[in-house]
């Protein structure tokens, strides 16, 4: 999946990652972001604070359009579950593409 995106020459990131120095800095910064502002603890706090701001009519519209629920607790628990799992998902995708260059940063 990630390999297909990076292989598309219309994406400049693929070209940039051919430079070993850029790739090393990019991966280090990505790791720092995953472990810092995008860590589950940080993103969960943001999600919880934002959930209070989502209006009931917006939830109802979303439920109608996408067949989901208006149960705020259910939606929040699914969101928090995804945020807990997201780091491992991203790790897996990056490890598949970059191999040891990514895994040794973890």
Q: What are the sequence ranges of the domains in the chain?
A: 20-103
Amino acid 2: pLDDT:
60
* 74 or 1, greater pLDDT: 74
**Would you say 59 and 75 are in contact if contact means Cβ atoms under 8 Å apart?**
yes
Amino acid 77: pLDDT:
92
The number of helices, as runs of H, and strands, as runs of E, in the chain is 7, 0
Inform me whether the pLDDT recorded for 9 exceeds 60: no
Lowest mean pLDDT among 3-7, 41-45, 73-77: 3-7
Amino acid 104: pLDDT:
81
Please indicate, yes or no, whether the overall pTM of this predicted structure exceeds 0.85: no
Task: List pLDDT tens digits, range 28-70.
Answer: 999 999 999 999 999 999 999 888 787 788 888 888 898 888 7
Residue 19 is classified by DSSP as S
């Amino acid at each position: 999946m990630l390999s297909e995106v990076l292989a598309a020459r219309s994406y400049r990131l693929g070209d940039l990652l051919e430079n070993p120095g850029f790739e090393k800095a990019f991966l280090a910064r990505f790791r720092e972001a995953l472990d810092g502002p995008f860590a589950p603890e940080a993103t969960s706090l943001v999600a919880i604070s934002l959930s209070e701001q989502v209006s009931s009519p917006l939830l109802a519209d979303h439920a109608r359009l996408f067949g989901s629920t208006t149960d705020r607790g259910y939606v929040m628990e699914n969101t928090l579950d995804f945020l807990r799992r997201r780091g491992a998902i991203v790790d897996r995708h990056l490890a598949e593409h970059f191999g040891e260059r990514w895994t040794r940063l973890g």
